[in-house]
Structure 1
Amino acid sequence: MTGYADDLTLAHLLADRADVVSAARFRALDLRVEAKPDLTPVSDADTAVEREIRALLAERRPDDGLLGEEYGEQPAGPNGRRWIVDPIDGTKNFVRGVPVWATLVALLEEDRPVLGLVSAPALGRRWWAARGAGAYAGPDAEHGEPIRVSAVADLADASFCYSSLTGWEDVGRLDAMLGIMRDAWRSRAYGDFYGYMLLAEGALDVMVEPELSLWDVAALVPIVVEAGGTVTDLTGRPAPAGDGAAEHSAIATNGRLHADILSRLGRPTAR
């Protein structure tokens, strides 16, 4: 294990605490759902999970920074470390009773993700990775197995995954997306964290999203990369690129397909 062993143990503990809260509220008849200013939904489970995680991090890592989707940012201390939390990724699924949702926890050092954990209790599955330690999946920390991306090298043989088509239309890449879908062996819109985790397991070969927040993507990157994949933004920079308030994008592949997908969907860096 790498120098992140203690942090990874803590990330699992954070996920354990989060799972207890979120699982109890999933499909609850009294679940409260409101619309945030950007019109995306937030449930009482989202806020309760983040409060639980914040409380434990304040106890165990008081000198680390923290950025959460629901309660904003606590600046990093002199060590430059910052935890990034999405209490429930896939809130729209959560509030409709669809079991594809998860708590996402990442640790950043100098704004680069070095640890990621995704816990999906309704699926009975968890994924995690730390820099230099490989990527794993299983029901819990004690029962993880190594995971690896696929060896598919031709788009005609690839399973292609995306979040939705509307976002790609908004960034002027809809025609390119449709071209990829026509050329790929198979295309499906699993969305949110799940496409990235299936990519890390080798069950599909490409996952793309045009618009993301830092908390949507930070935990996913170490898992895909440690599983042998590649993640960049649309300009080809290692993702996530930019500060926490910036809008992000992601092209995640098994590595062998990255140049092809980036050439089709990418855009040049603004000068």
Structure 2
Amino acid sequence: MSSRSPDLALAGRLADAADAITSARFRAQDLRVSSKPDRTPVTDADTAVEDAIRELIAAERPGDTVAGEERGGSASTTGRVWVLDPIDGTKNFSRGNPVWATLIALVEDGTPVVGMISAPLLGRRWWASAGGGAWLRDGTGEHRLSVSGVASLADSYVSTTDLGTWTEYHSREAYLTFVDACWESRAFGDFWHHCLVAEGSLEVAAEAIVNPWDVAAAQVLVTEAGGRFTDLSGAERFDGGSALSTNGRVHDAALELLRKP
């Protein structure tokens, strides 16, 4: 693994353990799916992955704390916190769609310093560490990532997760105005569009609503690839409740159009 550090190496081992569980449970006939209080789905694979990762962290880094989607904990505390989303894209996972990933971030005093995103059914793993660059491993090898050089929204390729979230949590009008100013829009969604920004395949990934574990790993990945990551107010934070990843060159213009009317 390029740009290796002890924490990044541990993140890789955590991702290996997660991939072994998720790959085995994907499309399993006995997969158990239930709903959380917010009506989002959770599977037995989600909880199994988080429990396995927590056990490994406790053995390897007993002084660190953990915040995860399924078992709780605060991602906004001081010190070292591992922030986990055992399966980002659970709706896809539970319906047999291979676009899902395990997200692992190490946050130090509120700043993500390691990010690991592993999508085994896509055959892709992304990672980054502070000062170490952003990387992708796929079927052709390891590649250092860099955001695109597109300089205007009119030439930008953009993505969100679900148009309905803009109506509920931010402004549907603002998002559609933004889309109209861009070249092309898609809904790759979840972890994937942030990774595509880091790869230079998209210019913007915008989210009206996120949880910290959804984007902590994406923040370090995008910034180490040369891009910018903020919430929709423009604050450089992963726990602000929304997210905007860009190549940096179109960030301010995107923020301006995405403001609530």
TM class by smaller structure? over 0.9
Partner SS, residue 234 of structure 2? coil
8 A Cα contact 2:174 2:260, kept in partner: no
Contact 2:198–2:221 (8 Å) recurs in 1 = yes
Q: Equivalent residue for 2:20?
A: 20
Matched-pair contact (CA < 8 Å) for 1:65–1:76 = no
Q: Which amino acid aligns with 2:95?
A: R
Match of 2:32? 32
Check if 1:41 corresponds to 2:21: no
Between the two proteins, the alignment pairs up a number of residues equal to 261
Tell me, yes or no, if structure 1 residue 252 matches structure 2 residue 245. yes
**Is 2:192 the partner of 1:194?**
yes
Shift of 1:183: 2.2
Amino acid corresponding to residue 67 of structure 1 in structure 2: A
Give SS of 1:28's match: coil
CA distance in 1, matches of 2:172, 2:148: 26
Measured in 1, the distance between the counterparts of 2:84 and 2:169 equals: 26
Structure 1: distance between partners of 2:249 and 2:121 = 32
2:45 alignment partner AA: A
Partner of residue 203, structure 1 = 201
Deviation of residue 239 (structure 1)?
2.0
Question: Once the two structures are superposed, what CA deviation does each residue of 1:120-160 show, in whole Å capped at 9, x if it has no partner?
Answer: 000000000000010000149x9421011000011111101
Q: What's the offset of the Cα at 1:36?
A: 0.8
- Aligned to 1:261, the other structure's residue is in SS state helix
Stretches of structure 1 that go unaligned for 5 or more consecutive residues are: 243-247
User: Which 4+ runs in 1 deviate beyond 4 A?
Assistant: 1-4, 74-77
Q: SS of the counterpart of 1:128?
A: strand
Cα displacement (A) at 1:170: 1.8
SS at match of 2:229: strand
SS at match of 2:235: coil
Task: Report the residue type matching 1:263 in the other structure.
Answer: E
Which SS does the other structure have where 1:148 is aligned?
A: coil
Report percent identity of matched pairs: 51
1:75 and 1:262 map into 2 onto residues whose CA distance is 25
Query: Which residue of structure 2 lines up, in the alignment, with residue 168 of structure 1?
Result: 166
Shift of 1:74: 7.6
Matches within 5 A, 1:31-110: 31-73=31-73, 80-110=79-109
Partner of 2:143: 145
How far the C-alpha of 1:258 sits from its partner, in A, is 0.3
Contact conserved, 1:2 with 1:130, CA < 8 A, in 2?
no
Stretches of structure 2 that go unaligned for 5 or more consecutive residues are none
Cα distance in 1 between the residues matched to 2:217 and 2:80: 14
Q: TM-score, normalised by structure 1?
A: 0.91
Partner residue in 2 for 1:8: 8
> What code does the residue aligned with 1:221 have?
Q
Given that residues 75 and 83 in structure 2 are in contact (C-alpha distance below 8 angstroms), is that contact kept between their aligned partners in structure 1?
no
| 1:3 positional shift | 9.9
| SS of residue matched to 1:144 | strand
Distance 1:93 1:2, change over 3 A: closer
Which deviates more from structure 2 when the two are superposed, residues 223-232 or residues 178-187? 178-187
- Deviation, 1:266, is 3.0
Deviates more, 1:165-174 or 1:94-103: 165-174
The letter for the 1-side match of 2:13 is L
How do residues 192-271 of structure 1 correspond to structure 2 at under 5 angstroms?
Answer: 192-241=190-239, 248-266=241-259
Deviates more, 1:161-170 or 1:95-104: 161-170
Aligned residue identity for 1:51 = D
| Partner SS for 1:193 | helix
Separation in 2, partners of 1:17, 1:237? 33
The one-letter amino acid paired with 2:106 is: L
Q: SS state of the match for residue 15, structure 1?
A: helix
CA distance in 2, matches of 1:76, 1:187: 32
Q: Distance in 2 between matches of 1:138 and 1:99?
A: 17
Instruction: Indicate how the Cα distance of structure 1 residues 35 and 229 shifts in structure 2: closer, same or farther if over 3 A, else same.
Output: same
- SS of the residue corresponding to residue 105 of structure 2 reads strand
Confirm or deny: 8 A CA contact 2:92 2:98 kept in the other structure.
yes
